[in-house]
Amino acid sequence: MLGASCVCPVLLACARGSYGQNCMNPCRCRSDAVCDHVSGHCQCRMGFSGDQCDVPCDRGHYGPGCVESCDCLNAAACDAVTGCCDCTSGWYGQHCQLGTSHMRESTTTHWPVMVAWSSGITERRPLADVLSLSCARSVADG
């Protein structure tokens, strides 16, 4: 139409905890999930799933919506957020696939080494502790 004008509604984000037209609907998201200001759909934090993000990941899954599968071995626990394996005693490696049964307990396991985490943090730890870590990016003598 020539000469006609359109008055379009301005869509503004609702305050936290509400969604929809005029922000009149209360969000039902849990676990600090983000609520879409238009649809009310919950965007789960890592480690949670479900319509309201109130279901923690089960033992074998991790990540946003718990859709990633853990690949930890030898009874290692899997972190629901990162998928990192928490190795049980006697195991180490990214998936806890390497055993320490061939190592003798000696003072070498108490030597300090530097661990560089993927987050950029570095710290000094005894070698015995480092062998049980699976999510360290690299280990260097320090």
Domain 11-55 has CATH 2.40.160: no
Percentage of residues of the chain with pLDDT beyond 90:
35
Q: Where are the domains of the chain?
A: 11-55, 83-142
47 φ/ψ angles, rounded to the nearest 5 degrees = 100, 0
Name the percent of the chain lying above pLDDT 70: 62
Cα separation of 108 and 119, whole Å?
27
Cβ contact 114:139 at 8 Å: yes
Of 44-53, 60-69, 131-140, the least confident: 131-140
Q: Which residues is 136 bridged to in the sheet?
A: 117
pLDDT in tens, 98-131: 887 545 444 444 555 555 555 555 666 665 555 5
> What does DSSP say about strands 25-26 and 18-19: parallel, antiparallel, or unpaired?
antiparallel
- pTM exceeds 0.85: no
Positive/negative CA dihedral, 34, 38, 40, 42: negative
